[in-house]
Each structure stands twice: as C-alpha cells, then as structure tokens.
Amino acid sequence: MNSASLAKMEGSSSVEGNQKLPKRKKMINDEDTMSKLPEPLISRILSFLPTKDAVRTSVLSKKWLFRWTFITRLDLDDTEFYSLKKKTGGKMSFLNFVYRALLLTKTSTFESFSILLANKYDTSLLNTWIPNILTRSRNLRVETHSKMSFSALASHYLFDSKLLEEVVLKMDSCAIRVPKIFARFDSLKLLKFSGILFTLHPSSKVLTLSFPLLKVFETVNCRWLNGNRLHLVVPILERVVIVEDAVSMSNETSVLAIYFSRFSLKHFSYCGLANISYYFRLLDSSSAHNASVNVVVKQCPINRVAETENRALVLLNEFRQMRCLTFEGCELLAQSKVAKLPSFKMLSHLKLGLVSGEVLLGLLHKSPILKTLHFKGVSTFDTQVLNSVAVPDCLTSTLQVVKFDKLHGCEHELCLAKYFMENVLVLERISFYLVSLWLGKSKIMEEFKEKLFSFKKGFSFAIIEFSYDV
C-alpha cells in the first residue's frame, strides 16, 4: 500500500470521526437543555411517557436517577414484560416493577393510575396493591382477566374514597362486599364497572349511593346481590349504560329495582340477554326530559316473557318525557298493555326492532309529535286493525320520515305501506330496505312496487326509495 493510499484512508477516518463528534455533542447538549428545565416540568413531561419508559430515563445520568419517582401518572401493563422469546421471568419482573413503582414514587396523589393484568396473579397481591392505589389516585383504571375477591380492606377504601374522580374496574369475575348501607363519593364524575358481583350489607336490603358530581354511570355484567333496591342519588347524571349479556348471569338473583333521584339524564341505554333484570324507577320523571332511551332485549325465553314485558312497560312509563326511543324486543309487548301506556308527548324519533302491526299502531297513537319512524320489519298481523281505529295524530301532522327495514314483499307489509302512503300527510321520505339484493330483482318486488305506486297518496311530494340491507 503506497503512502498516498494510506494518507487517503487516514483522511477518511478523520472525516468520520469529525462527523460523529457533533452528534455526541448534540446529545450532551440536549440532555443539558432538558436538565435545565424546572423539576416540576420535567416530572410533568415524564408523566406522559409510558411508565416503563419513564423509569428507563434513570440510566441517563446521576441527575436522572430518581427523577422518574416524581411522575404523576402510573401506567402498569404486564404484557410489556412478557415475550415469546423469553418464556420465564416475565411475571417476577412485572411484580418487582409494580412494587418499585408503588414504593419509590414520591407523588402523594396520582392524576391517573392504570394497571392491566392479562395474566393470573395471587389475589392477595392485588388486595395489597388496591388500597394503596385507591388512597393516591384521582383517576383509576384496573383491568384483569382473573377471578378475584376484594378483601374487606380494599372494599372499605373503595366505598370510602373522597379522592376518586374517575374509576374504571374492568374485571372478569370480581366479588365485592359492600361494607355499608350508604356511601357518598364527593368527587366522582365517571364510573364504569364490568364483571363485578356486589353483595349488599346484611343489615339492610337497600343500598344508597350518592354521587354529587357523577355524569357517567356504566355497568357491564354486574350484579347487586342480597338486596331489594339500589338507590342512586345523582343530581347531574347525564349518561346511564347498563349491559347484561353474559349467559351465566341470566339466572342470578339480584336487586329488584334501581331508583334514580335528582338527575338530568340525556342518555339511558339498557341491553339485556333473556330479560330485563330490574325495575327502573325515576323519582321525578321530568328529570329525563328530552332524554334519549335505548332498550335491547335478546332471546327472551317463554317463561320470562310476562316478567320482562312488565319491566319494559314500567321503564317506558318512567321515561314518558323522552325525546328519542330505540326499542328492540317489541315482540314482548302485547297490544292491550301498550294501550295502557301514557302519552309520549315529547317523543320525536322512534326506532323499533321487529314489531307487530298492532303494537306499532299502538305506539304511534302514544306519540303525537313523532317526526321519524324506523322499524326493522313487521311480523304477520291482522290487517283489519288498520281500518278499525282512528289514524294516529302524528301521521296527519308531524311524521316526516318512515324507514321500513327487512322487507320481504309480503301482503301484510304491503297493507302497512299502503296505510302510510294514504295517511301520512306531511311525509318527506319513505324508505324500503329489502332483505336481499336478489329480492329487488324478483317478480315479487316488481308487483309490490307496482301496487305501491298505484295507491292514493295523502302527501303532496315525498321521496320513495328502495334499497337492500347490507
């Protein structure tokens, strides 16, 4: 190798060294810039990192060794400690990390604390962590896929919390014994429970929970056992969602009624499998003025129809000042019972599942200012009923939009369509959604359309459209 080549190589090495040097200086300068920030601001920035990453900053320098301990948010997820390559050690690493986070963090109150457990752990460990978490967190989220029971101490801290503003407990099957007959949550604004079996205090069959600031109340597959009534005092509550779709819960005994008092509800939703589990009562029906109500009942067995129908009618009666109603499970309702319902004087939007002609007509008579009607099919009914009673007021004065789903082109469907065409005087749009694309090209539908367009029309102008369900 000649001297010229050697000089060239040495020059190249020198250039590379000079290129690396600015990068190293830049990293040092960046760290120095970050270190000059006020400590509260550094803690704030670290709090927005995943907790595991915030802890990793401790290796940057001696100055950073304990800065992570001042973070105001903890986000603990055990899936971050397990990997396909590393078959063992994940559980112990996570447990050590949790204990380290709980013991070393110097923040007296966390803005938020989240713990996700995808793997199984000793229940005693969870009951050790939970009281510590409950006394230090404003916003709490616990999600676990293991069955467990809250200890007496954990239950006490949960029902005695004055600090919590938001709480989300998403459990697989968690038993919690309520330690008192009255509890007040002064700061709670959002509550979401899933998979929890609450057992009421044996000294009373009534549990009263007061939430002065609560706006959202949601439960999924929860039960309130050993009592007759759950009373919720919720003066500014806006949203209620109750879902009970677990097969194992359909035969559980629970409280008979849930009472709501002093609230200003905007949305109420109940979805149940096999039945409606509770009587829902409003101590002041005007508190649900202009509310949107959504009720879905799936697969109700014959032996529970009467009970479920009764609870559905009570619910509709309580929400008689609602603005919007979605009801899937109308086949549970009898025409004679619908006739006894009060008038829904504020109802402007009605959406139904499969419904009989008699019940549909009964609900229309109870909805004098209805503007939009949407139903997912109509079962076979005695079409003579359409001519045997007076035309509902909403058809002649307010109804503007009709949506007819699951159309098969049957004779009883044609009779109902004819009834709307002739009697809806201010109609703007009527839509027919066929059960299949094939039906739209069939002779049955050609005859249906031909007859439909031949009917006398009570409206001056409206859009009539056909499409198929997707």
Split the chain (470 residues) into runs of 10 and give each run's mean pLDDT: 44 46 50 67 76 76 77 89 69 90 88 92 91 93 93 96 96 95 97 96 94 97 93 96 78 77 90 90 88 93 88 95 95 90 97 95 97 95 91 98 94 96 97 83 87 94 84
Cβ atoms of 392 and 363 within 8 Å: the answer is: no
Positions of E strands within 165-288? 166-177, 182-184, 190-199, 206-210, 216-220, 223-225, 229-233, 239-244, 257-261, 267-273, 279-282
Between CA 457 and CA 464 the distance in angstroms is: 12
Regarding whether 72 and 125 lie in a shared domain, the answer is yes
| Domain presence at residue 15 | no
Cβ atoms of 233 and 258 within 8 Å: the answer is: no
- Predicted confidence at residue 1, as pLDDT, reads 47
Regarding whether 196 and 121 lie in a shared domain, the answer is no
pTM: 0.85
- Predicted confidence at residue 60, as pLDDT, reads 73
| Domain presence at residue 468 | yes
Please count the residues of the chain. 470
Those residues whose C-beta lies under 8 Å from the C-beta of residue 252, and which sit 6 or more positions away, are: 223, 225
Q: How many helices (H) and strands (E) does the chain have?
A: 14, 24
Regarding whether 77 and 118 lie in a shared domain, the answer is yes
Regarding whether 130 and 102 lie in a shared domain, the answer is yes
Domain boundary among 291, 312, 333: 312
| Domain presence at residue 3 | no
Regarding whether 384 and 301 lie in a shared domain, the answer is no
In the block, residue with structure tokens 């919690």: 176
Regarding whether 344 and 436 lie in a shared domain, the answer is yes
Regarding whether 342 and 207 lie in a shared domain, the answer is no
Regarding whether 247 and 120 lie in a shared domain, the answer is no
| Domain presence at residue 16 | no
| Domain presence at residue 40 | no
| Domain presence at residue 402 | yes
Regarding whether 194 and 134 lie in a shared domain, the answer is no
| Domain presence at residue 1 | no
Regarding whether 371 and 345 lie in a shared domain, the answer is yes
Regarding whether 259 and 330 lie in a shared domain, the answer is no
Domain boundary among 264, 288, 312: 312
Between CA 229 and CA 171 the distance in angstroms is: 23
Regarding whether 262 and 381 lie in a shared domain, the answer is no
Those residues whose C-beta lies under 8 Å from the C-beta of residue 391, and which sit 6 or more positions away, are: 423
| Domain presence at residue 434 | yes
Domain boundary among 269, 291, 312: 312
Q: How many domains does the chain have?
A: 3
Owning domain of residue 103: 49-139
